[in-house]
Structure formats: structure tokens, C-alpha cells
Amino acid sequence: MTRTADLALRHAETVNGGTLPGLVTCASGISPSGPIHLGNFRELITPHLVADEIKRRGIPCEHILSWDDFDRFRRVPKNLAGVDDSWERYIGMPLTSVPPPAGSPHASWADHFKAPLLEAMAATGIEVREISQTEQYRAGAYREPVLLAVRERTAIDKVLDQYRTLEAVEAARQKTTGKGKGGKGGGKAATLTEEQAAAATEAERGSGAALEDDGSEGKAGYFPYKPFCTVCGTDFTTVTAYDDDSHELTYDCTKCGHTETVDLDTFTNGKLVWKVDWPMRWAHEHVMFEPSGVDHQSPGSSFVVGKDLAPIFGWERPVGPMYAFVGIAGMAKMSSSKGGVPIPNDALEVMEAPVLRWIYARRRPNQSFDVAFGPELQRLYDEWDALGRKVADGTAQSGDLAAHLRATSTATATLPATPRPMPFRTIASVIDVTQGDEDQAVRILSDLDPDNPVESTDDLRPRLDCAERWMLGYVPAEDRTVVRTAPDTELLGSLDEQQRDSLRLLVDGLDDHWSLDGLTHLVYGVPKIQRGIDPEAKVKDPELSAAQRAFFALVYRLLVSKDTGPRLPTLLLAVGADRVRTLLGV
């Protein structure tokens, strides 16, 4: 992010004639057409982190979030299609004019999908100035650039035409290959592999942008502006005539048959086509940094075309890296009730806010990664805690230190942290074994370190809640731990003298070792004692290791009827000394 911020500042100086402008503007643009998932979150958090880095340097900077809520409702989502065909009638209307899904407390389709992201932003310290495209267009804020685009439609058409055929795209691609476009990964558009290009085309098709009329389907020649029909509210309209002197525009609606002549000096119920709308807004908002997904940077796509269109509006295309896809790990096993693509709020159910920031902040934007919802989540917390210890004792590398700072704070605030960050996997194991009985879980967690007991459960939050939601909501039943209710008499009856001896040594030591540390020493020590080795001695001996593994497996089988489980000291604490004695038959 340091280098990306450097790049944004250099560009800001260039467009401002050599000195930094009074305000550096970084932008995000998001369409609230459906759930805004963890991949879309990168569109938001990348400019946030860059703007934040610039602010930390004491340079005035603003992060704007343009809501593309004046976009058309493109299609009925799969879960509604065929179930409720009445949604078909909204296709072609602005997202702000479509009602929300059934049961939603929000005013519109757009508001319904904006709300969870706004919550996630508040939780993760992301501050923006929101701009609603519906409000902007309807208020006439873009009147001048709309008239300009219409006046310059021949020039716009000429630019777009260069990209319309595949041959032209290929020619432009050859010409720009190897020429840096600025930004890490910014030049990637020119060097996409065939596979990436196919994925990009697929993604753009998915977002609808590739299919959107670029203005060339009009009956009055190329026209970059599309009115929504006054009668039916959709954009199934065709401009049939335009008078450059009076600004009178006539359109036909192919959906309801309405024909109307409006005056573009006063009419506000329409918008520029997407490929023209985006560069217009760069100019209107003076955007200097805006990243985009691979879908917008493929040859002939909006970011590429925008380079040539922005100057028509008197601006330069902002710099911004292409950000890579974000995948999801561990969802295959997720409980079916969660269904669908996870959104940032789903991640915040199981991740502390700084951890969620960290998984984005520690990667370069052009690196793809997976957000973990499966067992990998425990390793993620281990890594996070290890980094925290390095930061605390001053041994963290500078890059890691910067990522930690960006994760735990912003230029203006420190994010809430868990005061007593016990290992996530330990808390999860305790919750697993106690079946979600929180009082019991807290008692056991207090036993982990008797010299430093847990004073208040508040000290364990939010991590305790994250671990609880993860264990109870995301870990599949077959991976949960079920402690036996009665001793396994058959197994106990088959043990040899050496095995029985090991269990006796363990049980006899329980009371004196009743803490996480103590029990760790005890369980590793029992096989040592049996072999005549000092339990405190550090020994590397393959035979001893094998004996320890066999001993652990025996204890697991007797306690939970499996060969493995939560770490043994944690499991013993969670099961409780009395029940351990009963199940081990000693």
C-alpha cells in the first residue's frame, strides 16, 4: 500500500500541474444490484487503505463511494426466478425504483443491498463520502457533462469504435503491451493470458457491463445517453431524434410504446451509458485513484476505453491497480442454512474486524487469496496472534509491521480489539466440548491460566463470540467433538499393564497440573516417566515421540472415541478432572 499510495500521489501531482492538490480523491464504485460479497469488498477496502496511508502522511485525502444505484435492474436473481415472475416487470428500471426483496425493512432493492455493507464499513473503520448516482442524476448535478457528452457523441463513438471489433482490440493490445499503465498490476490488462481474458470476459458479462448497450443501438445514430421511460420507468428506450440547438430529445419506449420529446436542459430521468458515465464521473469528482477488478480492465472494457474518453471531459483516467479475485475457503462444508456467497458481515461473524482488514492489507491488490471459513480460520488467528507478539516485542519486519498497523487502526481511529486474546483454537475447542454452554466455557477458560484468571467475559470479547459463532455455525457436525458419557469398558478391558500405568500417571497428576501449561507438561511427561526419562528434560528420540503419539491416541479414544481431537490439555480442562477419571477407568 505504501507504493500504491506513492503512485496515487505522483499522479495527483501530475494532473495538478506539478504540485499536490488541496485534496487527493480516491474512489470506489459499487453497484447494489445484489449481495455485495467479499470480492466486491476489495473495491472498497483498496482505496480505503490507500486513502488512509495518504492521510497518515498528513495529506488531505477523501475516499468517495459512488453507489451505482441508477444502474438498471438487469435480471431476476436465480432464487426469485420461476418462483415469483412478477419481478420481471422491474427489469430495466433503476435499482432505486425496484422494491426490496420480500420481508426487507429497506425502501428499495438498492438500499437493501447497501445496508449490510454500510454496517461492515462501520465495523471495520472505513469512512467514505457516499454519492448516490440516482440522487446526482435526478438533481441535475451532471447536467453539463451530459450535454457535453451528447454534443461530443461523434468523438465518443469514434473512440468506442476502435475497440468494437476484436481485431481492433488485439491491435490496441499489441500497441500497449509492455507499456506501464501505472499501478501494481495496472499493466496487466495488456498482458492477460487467454485464460484470464476468458475469465475477465465472463466476469464482465456476469456484471452485465459487457452486455450493456454502449449507445450504438439508437435510431438517430450513436447516442451516449439513455432515458428511463416516463410511463413505465424502464430503459427499454431508443432515442429517435435529438436537436443539437434546442437540446430536445425524442425517444420511443419499446416496452410500453410511449413516445415523448423532452428537453435535456431540464429532463433528469436518464443516464449516460456505463462506458461514458464512468469517465464523466472521474472528471466530475476529480478522481485520482480508483482501482478496478480484472473484469473492467480486459481489452475493450470500460477502464481501457475510459483512458481515451476521460480527456473529452477534461480529465485523465485515474491510476489504480487491477485487484485480483478473492476466493472463499471452507464454505463447501458450511452449514446449508448460510447458503449463497458470503458478504463481509458473514466474515465479521467469525473474524475480529482487524483480522478482516489484515487479510486484505497484507496482500498486494493484484494477489488473489481466499477468505477462510473452514479449519484454516484457526491457523489465520494463530498467524495474527504471532504477528501481534512480534509487533509487541519489536521483532516484526517493516512490511508486517505496516500491515498490522493498517489492520488495527486507521488515520483517525483504533479498532476495538479483544483485551485478552486467548488462542482462537483453544476457545473454539472449549466451546466445542461444552456444546455452547457459555458459563461453563468461561469457567474452563479461567482454568487455563489459574495465576491470571479471567476477570470478566468482556475481556474475551469479541473473540469469544467469533469462536462461538464459528464452532456452532460453521463447523460441520462430523468434525465436532463429542465427549463420551460412559467409559469404553471394552477398550479399558483390553489394555495392557503399561497402558494402564500411563493412565494412572496421568490421573494422579491432574490436580497438581490443572492449567494449560501444567497439563501440557503432564501429557508429554507421562511417556518420559515410563521410560525413566526426567519429565523436564528436553529429549529428541523417535521412540519417545512414537510413545507420546500412542499415549495421546489412547486418551482421545477413551474420552471422545476418536484418534484425535482438540489439543489434549485443552480437552482435559474442558472435560473436567472428575469426568476424566471416570472415562479413563482409574
The residues that touch Zn ion, with contacts defined as CB under 5 A, are: 229, 231-232, 253, 255-256, 258
Q: Which of 55, 30, 27 is nearest to 40 (CA)?
A: 30
We find the least distance from the C-beta atom of residue 231 to Zn ion, in angstroms, to be: 5
Instruction: State which residue, 89 or 258, has the beta carbon closest to Zn ion.
Output: 258
We find the least distance from the C-beta atom of residue 235 to Zn ion, in angstroms, to be: 9
Please name the amino acid found at residue 446.
S
Please name the amino acid found at residue 28.
S
The C-alpha atoms of residue 244 and residue 180 are separated, in whole angstroms, by: 39
The C-alpha atoms of residue 501 and residue 495 are separated, in whole angstroms, by: 10
- Classify residue 119 as left (phi > 0), alpha (psi -120 to 50) or beta: alpha
The C-alpha atoms of residue 555 and residue 41 are separated, in whole angstroms, by: 45
We find the least distance from the C-beta atom of residue 70 to Zn ion, in angstroms, to be: 17
We find the least distance from the C-beta atom of residue 251 to Zn ion, in angstroms, to be: 9
Instruction: State which residue, 255 or 363, has the beta carbon closest to Zn ion.
Output: 255
Q: What are phi and psi of 68, to 5 degrees?
A: -80, 60
The answer for residues whose C-beta is within 8 angstroms of residue 141's C-beta and 6 or more apart is 135, 284
The C-alpha atoms of residue 125 and residue 358 are separated, in whole angstroms, by: 13
Q: Which residues pair with 242 in a beta bridge?
A: 249
We find the least distance from the C-beta atom of residue 237 to Zn ion, in angstroms, to be: 7
The answer for residues whose C-beta is within 8 angstroms of residue 152's C-beta and 6 or more apart is 312
Please count the other Cβ atoms lying within 10 Å of the Cβ belonging to residue 73: 22
The C-alpha atoms of residue 266 and residue 499 are separated, in whole angstroms, by: 90
The C-alpha atoms of residue 557 and residue 498 are separated, in whole angstroms, by: 17
Instruction: State which residue, 258 or 581, has the beta carbon closest to Zn ion.
Output: 258
Helix then strand then coil, in percent of the chain rounded to 5, is 50, 10, 40
We find the least distance from the C-beta atom of residue 258 to Zn ion, in angstroms, to be: 5
Indicate the pairing of strand 225-227 with strand 270-272.
antiparallel
We find the least distance from the C-beta atom of residue 269 to Zn ion, in angstroms, to be: 11
Instruction: State which residue, 122 or 231, has the beta carbon closest to Zn ion.
Output: 231
Confirm if 466 and 351 have CB atoms less than 8 A apart: yes
Instruction: State which residue, 138 or 363, has the beta carbon closest to Zn ion.
Output: 138
We find the least distance from the C-beta atom of residue 109 to Zn ion, in angstroms, to be: 19
Instruction: State which residue, 255 or 307, has the beta carbon closest to Zn ion.
Output: 255
We find the least distance from the C-beta atom of residue 214 to Zn ion, in angstroms, to be: 21
Q: Which residues pair with 370 in a beta bridge?
A: 327
Instruction: State which residue, 117 or 253, has the beta carbon closest to Zn ion.
Output: 253
Instruction: State which residue, 10 or 219, has the beta carbon closest to Zn ion.
Output: 219
Strands (E), 409-508: none
Instruction: State which residue, 231 or 386, has the beta carbon closest to Zn ion.
Output: 231
We find the least distance from the C-beta atom of residue 253 to Zn ion, in angstroms, to be: 3
Instruction: State which residue, 234 or 434, has the beta carbon closest to Zn ion.
Output: 234
Q: Identify the DSSP state of 125.
A: T
Instruction: State which residue, 189 or 239, has the beta carbon closest to Zn ion.
Output: 239
Does residue 487 have a cis bond before it (omega within 30 degrees)?
A: no
We find the least distance from the C-beta atom of residue 229 to Zn ion, in angstroms, to be: 3
Separate counts of helices (H) and strands (E) for the chain:
24, 12
Helix axes 438-447, 463-473, angle to 10 degrees: 120
